[in-house]
Structure 1
Amino acid sequence: MDPKIKRLIKKVKKGDQAAFSELVNLYKNQVYNICYRMVGLPQEAEDLAQETFLRAYTNIERYETNRKFSTWLYRIATNLSIDYLRKKKPSDYLDAEIPGTNGFNMYMHIASCERLPEEHLLENEMQETIQYEISQLPPKYRSVIVLKYLQDLSLKEISEILDIPETTVKTRVHRGREALRKRLRHFF
């Protein structure tokens, strides 16, 4: 483990809130990205990221210092996101109209790189399509696809985050990729 992280965790376990703030600053973007890619809604992802850090802080005594901190933290974020998806109402989907907006939906909030207007439009449509198709995968496949391809984690790290065997991760990545390929085949 990184000596800086180890030092910060020791301080947090002694009640140092400033040290925890440093940990939050180090990991907030990665945690938010995991949550966002899992649930697809910026506000919900922000809430889930905050809940992740709250849970990490209140359960810091359970963290085993011989394990990688980021893995432990990403597991909390992934589990909270999966729990959210299980409880989610159908009206929370990305293509659901935002009340009082004359047909606007959450797809319009997906970021893209600015280029020529045509390129921007095509890229935005592709991002929306891919995010939508990822959001349609069952949570067990969605979580490994997000962690593997969007967070660029190794199979071993994903195995630790999800607390499943590495062979199961491999299988889920393969099946999730195949499911995505089938869903996207008419676009390519």
Structure 2
Amino acid sequence: MDAIVKRIIKQVKKGDHNAFGEIVELYKDKVYHISYRMLGNKQEAEDVAQEAFIRAFTNIDRFEINRKFSTWLYRIATNLAIDRLRKKRPDYYLDAEIAGTEGLTMYSQLAANEELPDEKVVSIETQQGIQQEILNLPPKYRSAIILKYIQELSLKEISEILELPVATVKTRIHRGREALRKRLRNG
């Protein structure tokens, strides 16, 4: 795939702007998933993914063709998501109690598409709990955990995306895991 991507990037650098659409098609799902896991919000993830592609397109001349494009693109998306997290704190949480009610939360107001068996409910609640706890991690640990365990990238790739030494990445993954473990035990 790297050879295909390099060929497309060379076309874009020569002025064939339509060729960038092929890049978007190749990476749109991965970029969206990274953004979503970082932000936990569909709309914001779509915005960040779109912005990542815009930034990649406008800065394509800065991209070094002998490097791995996906690493460069994921770094852009991760940095944009972290910037968004720093600028904005959520106005509400789905598990926050609704004022004037006895124990009702925003979760209880979400419509269900179908009745789910007990086991599936437990599984979904566990996944939501883990996702929520990932969202509660500081951004530096959150990005490392998401890139390692959800995107399944190597330590070297994560190191390049976050522009950190591999040892620092290992430390952040370890500390992020420990923080998750503690939060999930106490939750």
Normalised by the size of structure 1, how large is the TM-score?
0.87
Cα deviation 1:120-150 (Å, max 9, x = unaligned) = 2111111110011001100000000000000
The residue number in structure 1 matching 2:178 is 178
Change (3 A) 1:87 1:155: same
* Cα deviation, residue 89, structure 1: 2.6
The residue number in structure 2 matching 1:38 is 38
Matched, 1:104 2:92: no
State the alpha-carbon separation in 2 of the partners of residues 121 and 33 from structure 1. Answer: 23
The residue number in structure 2 matching 1:70 is 70
Q: Is the 8 A contact 1:41 1:94 kept in 2?
A: no
State the alpha-carbon separation in 2 of the partners of residues 117 and 125 from structure 1. Answer: 12
CA RMSD of aligned residues (A): 2.5
Q: Which has the larger radius of gyration?
A: 2
* Cα deviation, residue 185, structure 1: 1.6
Q: Is the 8 A contact 1:158 1:169 kept in 2?
A: yes
Cα deviation 1:85-111 (Å, max 9, x = unaligned) = 00113316554689xxx9535x969xx
Q: Is the 8 A contact 1:13 1:60 kept in 2?
A: yes
Q: Is the 8 A contact 1:35 1:48 kept in 2?
A: yes
1:107-126 superposed matches below 5 A: 117-126=117-126
Matched, 1:51 2:46: no
3-state DSSP of counterpart to 1:25: helix
State the alpha-carbon separation in 1 of the partners of residues 97 and 72 from structure 2. Answer: 36
The residue number in structure 2 matching 1:60 is 60
Change (3 A) 1:60 1:135: same
The residue number in structure 2 matching 1:14 is 14
The residue number in structure 2 matching 1:127 is 127
The residue number in structure 1 matching 2:79 is 79
Q: Is the 8 A contact 1:40 1:94 kept in 2?
A: no
3-state DSSP of counterpart to 1:91: coil
1:130-145 superposed matches below 5 A: 130-145=130-145
3-state DSSP of counterpart to 1:90: coil
Cα deviation 1:42-100 (Å, max 9, x = unaligned) = 110001000000000000011011110000000000000000000113316554689xx
State the alpha-carbon separation in 2 of the partners of residues 166 and 108 from structure 1. Answer: 42
Normalised by the size of structure 2, how large is the TM-score?
0.88
Instruction: Point out where structure 1 has 5 or more consecutive residues left out of the alignment.
Output: none
Change (3 A) 1:129 1:3: same
3-state DSSP of counterpart to 2:91: helix
For 1:8, give the aligned amino acid.
Answer: I
State the percentage of identical aligned residues. 66
State the alpha-carbon separation in 2 of the partners of residues 137 and 143 from structure 1. Answer: 9
For 1:56, give the aligned amino acid.
Answer: A
State the alpha-carbon separation in 1 of the partners of residues 14 and 42 from structure 2. Answer: 33
